[in-house]
Structure 1
Amino acid sequence: MNMLKSVTFAAAMTVFGGAAVAEEITMNAVSLAPRQADIVRGFAMLVDEINTKFEGEFQINWRGGPEVMPPFGQAEAVRNGAIDMAVTSPSYYSGLVPTSSTMNLSFMRYDEIRPTGYYERMTELHAEKGLVLLGEAPATDLAFHMFLNKPVASLADFEGLRIRVFPTLLPMVKALGAEPLVLPMGEIFTAMERGAIDGFMRGTVGWAEQFEGVVTHVVYPGVYRAGFPVVVNEDAWNEVPEDLQERIITFVRDDAAPRIDQIWAEDVATGAKEMAAAGFEVIELSDEDSTRLRAIAMDSAWAVIADEAGAEVAAELRAMLDR
Structure 2
Amino acid sequence: MKQFLKSAVVAAGITMIGGAAIAEEYTMNAVTLSPRQADISRGFAMFIDEINEEFDGEFQINWRGGPEVMPPFGQAEAVRNGAMDMTFTSPSYYSGLVPASSTMNLSFKDYNEIRTTGYYERMTELHAERNLVFLGEVPATDLAFHLFLNTPIETLADIQGLRIRVFPTLLPLVNALGAEPLVLPMGEIYTAMERGAIDGFMRGTVGWAAQFEGVVTHVVYPGVYRAGFPILVNQDAWNELPADLQTRIIAFVRDDLAPRIDEIWATDVAQGVVEMEAAGFEVIQLSDEDSAQLREIALDSAWSVIATEAGEDVAAELRGMLVD
TM-score, scaled relative to structure 2: 0.97
The one-letter code matched in structure 2 to 1:270 is Q
DSSP 3-state at the match of 2:178 = coil
Q: Hey, what's the Cα distance between the residues in 2 that align with 1:9 and 1:115?
A: 36
Given that 1:218 and 1:283 are in contact with CA atoms closer than 8 Å, whether structure 2 keeps it comes out as yes
**Counterpart residue number, 1:265:** 266
**Counterpart residue number, 1:163:** 164
**Counterpart residue number, 2:134:** 133
DSSP 3-state at the match of 1:83 = coil
- Pair 1:299-2:300 in alignment: yes
Given that 2:142 and 2:269 are in contact with CA atoms closer than 8 Å, whether structure 1 keeps it comes out as yes
Q: How does 1:244-259 map to 2 (within 5 A)?
A: 244-259=245-260
- Identify which range, 39-48 or 233-242, moves more after superposition: 39-48
Shift of 1:40: 1.6
**Counterpart residue number, 1:43:** 44
**Counterpart residue number, 1:55:** 56
Q: Hey, what's the Cα distance between the residues in 2 that align with 1:29 and 1:83?
A: 7
Given that 1:4 and 1:82 are in contact with CA atoms closer than 8 Å, whether structure 2 keeps it comes out as no
Shift of 1:36: 1.2
CA offset digits 1:32-61 (Å, max 9, x no partner): 000111112111111111100100000000
The one-letter code matched in structure 1 to 2:76 is A
Q: How does 1:16-31 map to 2 (within 5 A)?
A: 16-31=17-32
Q: Hey, what's the Cα distance between the residues in 2 that align with 1:76 and 1:16?
A: 41
Given that 2:135 and 2:250 are in contact with CA atoms closer than 8 Å, whether structure 1 keeps it comes out as yes
Shift of 1:269: 0.6
Shift of 1:18: 3.5
Given that 1:87 and 1:231 are in contact with CA atoms closer than 8 Å, whether structure 2 keeps it comes out as yes
**Counterpart residue number, 1:122:** 123
Shift of 1:2: 3.0
Q: Which runs of 5+ in 1 are unaligned?
A: none
The one-letter code matched in structure 1 to 2:112 is D
CA offset digits 1:79-104 (Å, max 9, x no partner): 00001000000000111100000000
**Counterpart residue number, 1:79:** 80
**Counterpart residue number, 2:196:** 195
Q: Hey, what's the Cα distance between the residues in 1 that align with 2:21 and 2:232?
A: 31
DSSP 3-state at the match of 2:2 = coil
Given that 2:127 and 2:134 are in contact with CA atoms closer than 8 Å, whether structure 1 keeps it comes out as yes
Given that 1:220 and 1:283 are in contact with CA atoms closer than 8 Å, whether structure 2 keeps it comes out as yes
CA offset digits 1:133-170 (Å, max 9, x no partner): 11101000000000000001111111110000000000
Given that 2:5 and 2:26 are in contact with CA atoms closer than 8 Å, whether structure 1 keeps it comes out as no
Shift of 1:265: 0.4
**Counterpart residue number, 1:320:** 321
DSSP 3-state at the match of 1:116 = coil
**Counterpart residue number, 2:233:** 232
Given that 2:5 and 2:237 are in contact with CA atoms closer than 8 Å, whether structure 1 keeps it comes out as no
Shift of 1:112: 0.5
Q: Hey, what's the Cα distance between the residues in 1 that align with 2:6 and 2:238?
A: 16
The one-letter code matched in structure 2 to 1:91 is S
**Counterpart residue number, 2:213:** 212
Q: Hey, what's the Cα distance between the residues in 2 that align with 1:7 and 1:277?
A: 50
The one-letter code matched in structure 2 to 1:2 is K
Shift of 1:15: 3.4
Given that 1:4 and 1:83 are in contact with CA atoms closer than 8 Å, whether structure 2 keeps it comes out as no
Given that 1:7 and 1:25 are in contact with CA atoms closer than 8 Å, whether structure 2 keeps it comes out as no
DSSP 3-state at the match of 2:116 = helix
CA offset digits 1:203-228 (Å, max 9, x no partner): 00000000000000000000000001
**Counterpart residue number, 1:15:** 16
- Report the aligned-residue RMSD: 1.3
The one-letter code matched in structure 2 to 1:43 is F
Q: Hey, what's the Cα distance between the residues in 2 that align with 1:172 and 1:9?
A: 46
Q: Hey, what's the Cα distance between the residues in 1 that align with 2:79 and 2:199?
A: 34
CA offset digits 1:296-321 (Å, max 9, x no partner): 00000000000001000000000000
Given that 1:9 and 1:239 are in contact with CA atoms closer than 8 Å, whether structure 2 keeps it comes out as no
- Identify which range, 182-191 or 34-43, moves more after superposition: 34-43
Shift of 1:6: 8.8
- Identify which range, 40-49 or 304-313, moves more after superposition: 40-49
**Counterpart residue number, 1:285:** 286
Shift of 1:276: 0.6
- Identify which range, 33-42 or 165-174, moves more after superposition: 33-42
Shift of 1:19: 2.9
Q: What number of residue pairs does the alignment pair up?
A: 323
Q: Which runs of 5+ in 2 are unaligned?
A: none
Shift of 1:3: 4.2
The one-letter code matched in structure 2 to 1:181 is L
Given that 2:2 and 2:236 are in contact with CA atoms closer than 8 Å, whether structure 1 keeps it comes out as no
CA offset digits 1:113-143 (Å, max 9, x no partner): 0010000000000000010011101000000
DSSP 3-state at the match of 1:136 = strand
Shift of 1:22: 2.2
The one-letter code matched in structure 2 to 1:162 is R
Q: Hey, what's the Cα distance between the residues in 2 that align with 1:63 and 1:7?
A: 16
Shift of 1:4: 4.3
State the identity as a percent.
78
